[in-house]
């Protein structure tokens, strides 16, 4: 199995997943293309660019700087701001102010130091440090270890560990953009999972990691941070199922035709030399499930969208529309039904009626 | 102003006419007049602007300024806080970027000629005796003050808030920047400030001291332990600047 995945990837080291990538996995659990590419550790960004469909995202430098500045503000002076927020939000006792900067040991020791500190905290209970800054967690994904860096702090109150996620999007009048909150929750769920795995590995009860994560954002139009609790149980369940699926990616790979590979044959500088058409051909052999949400999560989104458009599949219209159009095979057929050019087959009467109604409304309002 | 501008426009028209009529001496005198008017206009515009409060050119070198701020705070502090204190009370000429090589330069100076200077800006040591990231301390402080236990960041924050408040209370006319600094700090101390109103130094000191009481004993014990360990195991230079090598770290940690 390992060998087969190495073959799919070609002679380059596998891409490690970061928390964002792992969270994105949970966003579209039904996509075989993404599952196979991720399991094999293929560099999706480079692949997408090589086949001529570069992903339109990536964070702007300004957003990154803004995020870092806000994070530094929350954490400065021994997490003074964070302490105030947690005292207000969770009733953290005054005596609990311990702070450990895991980064002080140097990068090569951070993971083992995190382990040692969390182990000590779990053993000794409340007396140990409350905050762990810059911890480094690990998660086994499809046979390889990914290192995760909660930009954030795991702290414990009442014997339970919490993940704190610091994000720089604003909460205005108690409301934040739902998409951004959802993305933050997915990302925090990855950290919860990794911390639980660590505790289980050390022989402690993994349930001591709370499923409530603390989301810290700027409030209204100022830079003053505000904290809210976000329940990530649902994200955790999706993530666990998805990771489980990744370890069982074998049957997906077995169904692939023999000899298929996503190898880009990079030269000494890492520039791909394999013809783009060949790579695209290989990619098309693995079925994808494109949905508009992919645009915010997956490097391959533009490639898959183009494919969905060419194929006239209803997937490109979003899950809701796709489900409503159940039984209609594609966009062309849906249009034919709407215009009355095609007779509805058995079982299509209801949707055909709806489509005709929609068509008539459109004609009336435009004509 | 308006009158000046009208006069300038008139003069320009007259200059043009004079040049056209080839009356050179008249044109020359008109040009002189025009220049005078323009000069006056420049001055009038400049007077309307508020003179920018120019920070006095600092006479002290960077390390002296940092030392001044640290002496006020009395505890290890991050560059950001040092700059804020410098801005609030002193020369306002310190910038974060000036800190990049400060600690390294101090260490080099100490290594080549130990104890030649009256003080060195050194590192605060973590409980593993490595230098704490981004914290500066002064070599003349007691060893317990230059090491950190898990509670020390909070204790140091509260102590520095008390010191800032005390300094502020001593000034007859507290600068507004200093009040803002204290308010920002006090907002994170329970009972020290109300909402966004400027913090009162006396209240802030009382509140910070109350929380300090909770942590003081435990923190002092932890710090004494780390300081004793550093004293036993590290040579002079590493006692000030932290144990850098992995071997020393391992040895010191056990």
The first and second tokens of residue A67, run together, are: 């995020």
Q: Confirm or reject contact between A97 and chain B (CB < 8 A).
A: yes
Tell me what pLDDT residue B254 has.
46
- Taking the C-alpha atoms of residue A106 and residue A302, their distance in angstroms, rounded to an integer, is 40
Mutate to test the interface with B, among A75, A78, A83 (most CBs of B within 10 A): A78
> Do A79 and A209 share a structural domain?
yes
- Picking from A206, A241, A276, the residue at the C-terminal end of a domain is A241
- Terminal alpha carbon distance of chain B: 78
> Do A52 and A143 share a structural domain?
no
A45-103 pLDDT tens trace: 888 888 888 877 666 788 888 988 999 899 888 888 888 888 888 888 888 888 888 87
On chain B, the residues whose CB falls within 8 A of the CB of A83 are: 154, 188
Tell me what pLDDT residue A1 has.
66
> Do A125 and A6 share a structural domain?
no
> Do A78 and A224 share a structural domain?
yes
> Do A147 and A24 share a structural domain?
no
- Taking the C-alpha atoms of residue B167 and residue A18, their distance in angstroms, rounded to an integer, is 47
Residues of chain A with pLDDT under 70: 1, 57-59, 125-129, 142-144, 152-154, 246-248
Tell me what pLDDT residue A61 has.
82
> Do A204 and A91 share a structural domain?
yes
On chain A, the residues whose CB falls within 8 A of the CB of B128 are: 104-105
Scanning every residue of chain A, which has its alpha carbon at the shortest distance from the alpha carbon of B77? Answer: A77
B56-90 pLDDT tens trace: 556 778 888 999 999 999 999 999 999 999 988 88
> How close, in Å, is residue A115 to chain B by CA atoms?
16
Mutate to test the interface with B, among A104, A105, A106, A113 (most CBs of B within 10 A): A104
Average pLDDT of span B171-199: 87
On chain B, the residues whose CB falls within 8 A of the CB of A105 are: 128, 130, 249
> Do A154 and A20 share a structural domain?
no
Residue A175: closest CA among A212, A220, A235, A216: A220
Confidence band for B245, pLDDT divided at 50, 70 and 90? low
Domain count, chain A: 3
User: If DSSP codes are grouped into helix, strand and coil, which group holds residue A14?
Assistant: coil
Q: Confirm or reject contact between B245 and chain A (CB < 8 A).
A: no
> Do A268 and A175 share a structural domain?
no
- Taking the C-alpha atoms of residue A302 and residue A316, their distance in angstroms, rounded to an integer, is 11
- Taking the C-alpha atoms of residue A340 and residue A76, their distance in angstroms, rounded to an integer, is 66
Scanning every residue of chain A, which has its alpha carbon at the shortest distance from the alpha carbon of B191? Answer: A84
Tell me what pLDDT residue B162 has.
94
> How close, in Å, is residue B92 to chain A by CA atoms?
21
- Taking the C-alpha atoms of residue A182 and residue B108, their distance in angstroms, rounded to an integer, is 50
In this prediction the ipTM stands at: 0.72
Tell me what pLDDT residue B50 has.
56
Per the CB < 8 Å rule, is B185 touching A77?
yes
Confidence band for B248, pLDDT divided at 50, 70 and 90? very low
Q: Residues in chain B, how many?
A: 254
> Do A79 and A35 share a structural domain?
no
B194-228 pLDDT tens trace: 877 888 899 999 999 999 999 999 999 999 999 99
> Do A218 and A174 share a structural domain?
yes
> Do A356 and A293 share a structural domain?
no
- Picking from A241, A270, A285, the residue at the C-terminal end of a domain is A241
> How close, in Å, is residue B148 to chain A by CA atoms?
10
Q: What pTM value is reported for the model?
A: 0.75
For residue A123, what are the domain limits? 61-241
Per the CB < 8 Å rule, is A76 touching B78?
yes
- Taking the C-alpha atoms of residue A203 and residue A115, their distance in angstroms, rounded to an integer, is 12
Q: Confirm or reject contact between B249 and chain A (CB < 8 A).
A: yes
- Picking from A215, A241, A267, the residue at the C-terminal end of a domain is A241
Whether residue A305 contacts residue A316, with contact meaning beta carbons closer than 8 Å, is answered with yes
Q: Confirm or reject contact between A87 and chain B (CB < 8 A).
A: yes
3-state SS record for B155-166? HHHHHHHHHHHH
Scanning every residue of chain B, which has its alpha carbon at the shortest distance from the alpha carbon of A86? Answer: B188
Q: Kindly report the average pLDDT of chain B as a whole number.
A: 86
Average pLDDT of span B87-112: 85
B106-163 pLDDT tens trace: 989 998 988 889 999 998 988 888 888 888 999 999 999 999 988 899 999 999 999 9
Scanning every residue of chain A, which has its alpha carbon at the shortest distance from the alpha carbon of B135? Answer: A77
Q: Confirm or reject contact between B195 and chain A (CB < 8 A).
A: no
The β-bridge relationship of strands A212-218 and A225-231 is antiparallel
Residue A47: closest CA among A246, A261, A258, A276: A276
């Amino acid at each position: 199995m390992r060998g087969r995945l190495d073959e799919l990837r070609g002679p380059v080291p596998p891409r490690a997943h970061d928390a964002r990538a792992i969270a994105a996995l949970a966003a579209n659990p039904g996509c075989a293309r993404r599952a196979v590419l991720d399991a094999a550790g293929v560099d999706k960004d480079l692949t997408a660019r090589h086949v001529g469909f570069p992903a339109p995202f990536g964070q702007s430098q300004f957003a990154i700087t803004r995020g870092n500045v806000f994070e530094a503000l929350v954490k400065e002076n021994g997490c003074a701001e964070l302490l105030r927020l947690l005292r207000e939000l969770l009733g953290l006792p005054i005596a609990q102010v311990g702070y450990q900067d895991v980064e002080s040991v140097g990068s090569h020791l951070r993971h083992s130091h995190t382990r040692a500190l969390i182990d000590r905290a779990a053993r000794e209970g409340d007396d140990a440090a409350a905050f762990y800054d810059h911890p480094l967690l690990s998660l086994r994904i499809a046979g390889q270890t990914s290192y995760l860096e909660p930009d954030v702090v795991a702290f414990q109150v009442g014997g339970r560990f919490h993940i704190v996620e610091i994000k720089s999007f604003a909460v205005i009048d108690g409301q934040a953009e739902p998409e951004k909150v959802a993305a933050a929750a997915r990302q925090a769920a990855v950290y919860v999972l990794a911390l639980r795995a660590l505790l289980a590995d050390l022989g402690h009860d993994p349930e001591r990691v709370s499923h409530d994560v603390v989301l810290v954002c700027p409030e209204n139009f100022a830079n003053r941070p505000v904290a809210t609790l976000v329940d990530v149980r649902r994200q955790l369940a999706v993530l666990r199922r998805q990771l489980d699926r990744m370890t069982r990616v074998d049957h997906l790979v077995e169904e692939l035709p023999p000899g298929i590979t996503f190898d880009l044959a990079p030269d000494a500088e890492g520039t791909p030399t394999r013809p783009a058409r060949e790579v695209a051909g290989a990619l098309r052999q693995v079925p994808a499930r494109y949905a508009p949400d992919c645009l915010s999560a997956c490097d391959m989104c533009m490639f898959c969208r183009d494919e969905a458009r060419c194929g006239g599949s209803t997937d490109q219209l979003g899950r809701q529309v796709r489900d409503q159009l159940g039984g209609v095979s594609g966009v062309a057929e849906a249009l034919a039904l709407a215009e009355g050019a095609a007779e509805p087959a058995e079982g299509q009467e209801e949707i055909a009626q709806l489509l005709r109604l929609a068509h008539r409304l459109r004609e009336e309002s435009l004509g | 102003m308006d009158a000046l501008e009208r006069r300038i426009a008139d003069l320009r028209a007259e200059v043009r006419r004079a040049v056209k009529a080839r009356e050179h001496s008249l044109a020359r005198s008109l040009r002189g007049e025009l220049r005078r008017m323009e000069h006056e206009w420049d001055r009038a515009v400049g007077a309307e602007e508020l003179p920018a409060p120019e920070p006095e050119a600092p006479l002290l070198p960077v390390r002296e300024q940092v030392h001044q701020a640290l002496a006020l705070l009395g505890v290890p502090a991050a560059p950001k806080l040092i700059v804020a204190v410098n801005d609030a009370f002193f020369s306002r000429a310190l910038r974060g970027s000036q800190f990049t090589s400060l600690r390294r330069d101090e260490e080099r100076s100490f290594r080549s000629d130990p104890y030649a200077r009256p003080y060195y800006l050194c590192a605060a040591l973590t409980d593993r005796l490595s230098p704490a990231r981004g914290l500066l301390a002064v070599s003349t402080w007691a060893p317990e003050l230059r090491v950190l236990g898990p509670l020390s960041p909070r204790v140091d924050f509260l102590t520095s808030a008390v010191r800032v408040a005390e300094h502020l209370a001593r000034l007859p006319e507290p600068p507004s920047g200093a009040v803002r600094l204290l308010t920002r700090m006090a907002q994170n101390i329970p009972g020290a400030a109300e909402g966004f109103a400027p913090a009162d130094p006396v209240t802030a000191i009382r509140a910070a001291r109350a929380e300090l009481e909770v942590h003081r004993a435990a923190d002092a014990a932890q710090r004494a332990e780390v300081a004793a360990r550093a004293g036993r195991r590290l040579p002079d230079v590493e006692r000030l600047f932290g144990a850098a090598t992995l071997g020393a770290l391992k040895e010191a940690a056990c």
